[in-house]
Chains A and B, each alone.
Chain A
Amino acid sequence: DAGVIQSPRHEVTEMGQEVTLRCKPISGHNSLFWYRQTMMRGLELLIYFNNNVPIDDSGMPEDRFSAKMPNASFSTLKIQPSEPRDSAVYFCASSLTQHTDTQYFGPGTRLTVL
């Protein structure tokens, strides 16, 4: 079975540009999570969805970040405008249901903002 799929795997962009990260969760999973990993802050949750509905976006750093889940098999995380401090690895994860199930991570997108 396919795991969580993320694209692109690497993204290099210039400050001020819009960046869109994409995620396809494991088929049948109802919860989707976006995490960010940096050396300074480690792994932190940005936002998560359950049944395509955003449940907790308290980790989204600021208005430049937005996330959508238009259907059960696709989610995007958008940064507009991007800044050098947004450089990080962004992970998408999914789980079968809320609360009790293991979260399986995608391979991550390494974002570099110059």
Chain B
Amino acid sequence: AQKITQTQPGMFVQEKEAVTLDCTYDTSDPSYGLFWYKQPSSGEMIFLIYQGSYDQQNATEGRYSLNFQKARKSANLVISASQLGDSAMYFCAMRVLYNTDKLIFGTGTRLQVFP
């Protein structure tokens, strides 16, 4: 069965510092995609970054990067130079490709950035 685990219910980081949000996944399928979404207090789900299981390099999108360690089945999100506006819930999600379009979400990590 596919599963996403986010073990950090809450994280604090000082503005301008980097922070890593942990995500581990479980699947026996070789083809899958990993996603990170941000949910601010306003409630919308904002797509941040995607990593395919066959991608050779770690994905990056601006200040976001995904530390993909396939052997460890981890897909941690790294936010560099944190900003106050980064305070939000962050969800890791997985989709097993060519099987189902269902996104399986973790329980989320609440990040708070302080000045």
Interface residues on A, range: 20 to 34
A102-B47, A110-B43 known; A95 vs B105 contact (CB < 8 Å): no
- Considering only CB atoms and an 8 Å cut-off, how many residues of chain B contact the other chain? 22
Complex interface residues of chain A between 82 and 110 (CB less than 8 A to chain B): 89, 91, 93, 95, 98-100, 102-108, 110
Query: With an 8 A cutoff between CB atoms, is A43 at the interface?
Result: yes
Query: With an 8 A cutoff between CB atoms, is B72 at the interface?
Result: no
Whether A102 pairs with B43 at a CB distance below 8 angstroms is: no
Contact of A105 among B47, B97, B100 (CB under 8 A): B47
- List 10 extra interface pairs beyond A59-B102, A95-B101, CB under 8 A: A33-B101, A43-B93, A55-B101, A102-B47, A103-B35, A104-B47, A105-B37, A105-B45, A106-B44, A108-B44
A100-B97, A102-B50, A105-B37 known; A45 vs B43 contact (CB < 8 Å): no
Contact of B33 among A45, A48, A50, A100 (CB under 8 A): A100
**How many Å lie between the Cα of A56 and that of B103 in the bound state?**
12
Chain B contact residues: helix, strand, loop or mixed:
loop
Contacts of A103 in B (CB 8 A): 35, 47, 101, 103
B64 to chain A, nearest CB (A): 14
Contact with A along B67-82 (1 / 0, CB 8 A): 0000000000000000
**How many Å lie between the Cα of A95 and that of B47 in the bound state?**
12
Query: With an 8 A cutoff between CB atoms, is A75 at the interface?
Result: no
Whether B50 pairs with A43 at a CB distance below 8 angstroms is: no
B44 to chain A, nearest CB (A): 5
**How many Å lie between the Cα of A91 and that of B35 in the bound state?**
17
Whether A99 pairs with B91 at a CB distance below 8 angstroms is: no
A7 to chain B, nearest CB (A): 14
Query: With an 8 A cutoff between CB atoms, is A76 at the interface?
Result: no
A39 to chain B, nearest CB (A): 10
Contact with B along A32-63 (1 / 0, CB 8 A): 01010000001111001010000110010000
